[in-house]
Amino acid sequence: MKLITEWTTPLRYKPYHHWPAAYQDMLEGAIQKSDWKQAFHIQPKTGLLNDPNGFSFYDGKWHLFYQAYPFGPVHGVKSWYHMVSDNLVDWEQHDYALLPDSPYDSHGVYSGSAMTVEDKLFLMYTGNVRNEKWERHSYQLGAWMNSDMQVEKITKPLIENPPEGYTHEFRDPQVFRYQDQYLMAIGAQTDSEKGAVLVYQSNELADWELLGELRYTTEEMGFMVECPNLVFVDNQPVLLFCPQGLDKDIASYQNIYPNMYVIGSSFNKESLAVENASDLVNLDEGFDVYATQAFNAPDGRVLSVGWIGLPEIDYPSFEEGWAHCLSIVKELSIKNQHLYQKPVIEMQELRQNHDILQGTAQAKNLLLYSPDNNVYELKLELDASTSGSLYLFADEQNKEGLKLSFDSKHDTISMDRSKAGIPFGESYGSIRTAALKRQDKLTLHIFADRSVCEVFVNDGYCVMTSRVFLKDPKQTHIFLQGFEGDYTGDFWTLREMNE
Ligand code: FRU
């Protein structure tokens, strides 16, 4: 069997049951033997994964779904695939939870959220439907999952149409409990093609009443807002969202579409205002994070997970027939009106062998460590009075690698992937730079997983993420270059999930 590389629209919308099982088996085999297959990140079983959906805690377990197209690395007709975990780290593949099998979601079960209601999990999502002229109709749909993890769709749409004044670019409902009601935030586009977030309210989850547009900025939010999530961190509202086509004068970004956040002091339900909303900030200062989903977990934490991938960019793994992964789970907090994102404490359950790194760097090119492979956690603390670069995924001579440069004069950090394996997405630049707040020590908390790297800088003050597609998996060296000063660190090998 040959891998399909020419994707026509009819092929992308071919019903799942028309595909031979052997084709999917072939795709699964290709991932299994890939050098880019990850150890502890959620990646698609086959084909393409995009947005995280329905992140929730129900019946004593964590549930996380993702947008899936099982037959290739393209955005074909989507469904929800269901992952289950006891610890936010070991995720079992369960099954497809929602398939595009009804007249209201025939062209894709699009993104949405989930929430425990009594003894069931309520799922709310967008049904994407195209007519003969390929015009879009967006329905907002519901489903209930029981403790046997069986999902039953609610047959009638919960919201049939976008409200007057808005187009059918209307999707990604996020439901949450607020005071004694259910609220829902949803991405929208006005008739004049401006991005917006709408808020609906319901008592029983069946009838939804439009309250109006969420007010969190006076600027224009591009042409469409995707995947809005309103969460409450220490009672402060934080809106995570993807304003597609945002003017770069409003907030600077380099990815094709940004994933941003604003923090407010409080949320006024009457006026739908995120009061004293901050400027827009990039949720991730690296390359590939989009469609982040967050929720207020019952244990009091605010947890988030992002899609590590971007729309409309070709990634090297497409050649192998698969695409993308999810980020590790992060915990959100606010300090001095700034959002901090940290790996959840449960990530420590993956740790295996430990080594301590310590010394004073004087050499121009110091080999810090040579792991056996690129599946590890590294915590480094560097004297922040100087500048230098850390290279990950480097070859023996340190000619190639993922370069993190820190500049104490300007209080910046940058991630340069121009020499980190097979280039991709280059028209959006190969370097990202983020501003830091001055402190005595620079801390870098790094999770490397074969073809992905997530760097938490200064205790999660900023996060920089990138996919890395090495031609040679033996490029595992870690170097410090141009840095003069003291460093201390911890290195752990990490196990595969579910091992
Ligand atoms: C964001 C998005 C969502 C949509 C989904 C479809 O990546 O475009 O707006 O629901 O992906 O897969």
In a domain, 1, yes or no: no
Domain check: are 362 and 327 in the same one?
no
The whole-number average pLDDT for the span 188-198 is 98
pLDDT of residue 408: 83
Confidence of residue 412 (pLDDT cuts 50, 70, 90): very high
In a domain, 289, yes or no: yes
In a domain, 231, yes or no: yes
Task: Provide residues with CB under 6 Å of ligand 1.
Answer: 50-51, 67, 78, 110-111, 126, 171-172, 226-227, 290-291, 311
In a domain, 85, yes or no: yes
Q: Which residues contact 47 (CB under 8 A, 6 or more apart)?
A: 27, 68, 69, 70, 71, 72, 73, 76, 321, 322, 323
CA–centroid distance, 51 to ligand 1, in Å, is: 6
Residue nearest to atom 12 of ligand 1 (CA): 110
In a domain, 204, yes or no: yes
Domain check: are 152 and 266 in the same one?
yes
Domain check: are 389 and 321 in the same one?
no
pLDDT of residue 31: 95
> Residue 135's domain is classified under what CATH number?
2.115.10.20
Residue of 51, 284, 416, 449 marked active site: 51
Closest-lying ligand 1 atom to the alpha carbon of residue 75:
12
Domain check: are 357 and 293 in the same one?
no
pLDDT of residue 10: 96
pLDDT of residue 385: 78
Domain count along the chain: 2
Residue nearest to atom 6 of ligand 1 (CA): 110
Distance between CA 400 and CA 248 in Å, rounded?
A: 31
Domain termination site, one of 340, 370, 390? 340
Domain termination site, one of 304, 324, 340? 340
Note the pLDDT tens digit of each residue in 423-432: 999 999 999 9
Confidence of residue 292 (pLDDT cuts 50, 70, 90): very high
CA–centroid distance, 111 to ligand 1, in Å, is: 6
CA–centroid distance, 487 to ligand 1, in Å, is: 42
Domain check: are 393 and 334 in the same one?
no
The whole-number average pLDDT for the span 75-96 is 98
Which of 226, 244, 283 to mutate to test ligand 1, by most ligand atoms within 8 A of the CB atom? 226
CA–centroid distance, 61 to ligand 1, in Å, is: 25
Backbone φ and ψ of 457, nearest 5°: -100, 135
Closest-lying ligand 1 atom to the alpha carbon of residue 78:
12
Domain check: are 327 and 351 in the same one?
no
The whole-number average pLDDT for the span 209-223 is 98
Q: Is 317 helix (H, G, I), strand (E, B) or coil?
A: helix
CA–centroid distance, 317 to ligand 1, in Å, is: 20
Domain check: are 412 and 486 in the same one?
yes
Residue 51 annotated as catalytic: yes
Q: Say whether pLDDT at 13 is over 80.
A: yes
Domain termination site, one of 340, 368, 395? 340
In a domain, 3, yes or no: no
Domain check: are 451 and 318 in the same one?
no
In a domain, 2, yes or no: no
Domain check: are 101 and 243 in the same one?
yes
CA–centroid distance, 303 to ligand 1, in Å, is: 20
In a domain, 444, yes or no: yes
Q: Which residues contact 12 (CB under 8 A, 6 or more apart)?
A: 69, 74, 75, 76, 77
Which of 13, 51, 170 to mutate to test ligand 1, by most ligand atoms within 8 A of the CB atom? 51
pLDDT of residue 364: 83
Q: Which residues contact 252 (CB under 8 A, 6 or more apart)?
A: none
Tokens of 179: 């005071």
Domain check: are 119 and 260 in the same one?
yes
Of 297, 319, 284, whose CA–CA distance to 232 is shortest?
Answer: 297
Domain check: are 220 and 279 in the same one?
yes
Q: Please name every residue paired with 281 in a beta bridge, in sequence order, or none if there are none.
A: 261
Backbone φ and ψ of 360, nearest 5°: -120, 125
* Mean pLDDT, rounded, of the chain: 97
CB 322 within 8 A of CB 48: yes
> Residue 371's domain is classified under what CATH number?
2.60.120.560
pLDDT of residue 454: 98
Alpha helical stretches, state H, 365-459: none
Closest-lying ligand 1 atom to the alpha carbon of residue 110:
10
pLDDT of residue 384: 81
Distance between CA 454 and CA 173 in Å, rounded?
A: 28
Of 88, 53, 83, whose CA–CA distance to 67 is shortest?
Answer: 53
Of 413, 419, 402, 433, whose CA–CA distance to 253 is shortest?
Answer: 433
Note down the domain range covering 455. Answer: 346-494
Note the pLDDT tens digit of each residue in 244-283: 999 999 999 999 999 999 999 999 999 999 999 999 999 9
pLDDT of residue 230: 98
Closest-lying ligand 1 atom to the alpha carbon of residue 67:
12
Domain check: are 296 and 355 in the same one?
no
The whole-number average pLDDT for the span 216-228 is 98
* Percent of the chain clearing pLDDT 90 (strictly above): 97
The whole-number average pLDDT for the span 457-478 is 97
Which of 67, 107, 283 to mutate to test ligand 1, by most ligand atoms within 8 A of the CB atom? 67
Q: Distance between alpha carbon 273 and the CA centroid of its chain, in Å?
A: 26
Note the pLDDT tens digit of each residue in 382-396: 988 779 999 999 999
Note the pLDDT tens digit of each residue in 338-364: 999 999 999 999 999 999 999 999 868
Q: Is 107 helix (H, G, I), strand (E, B) or coil?
A: coil
pLDDT of residue 170: 98
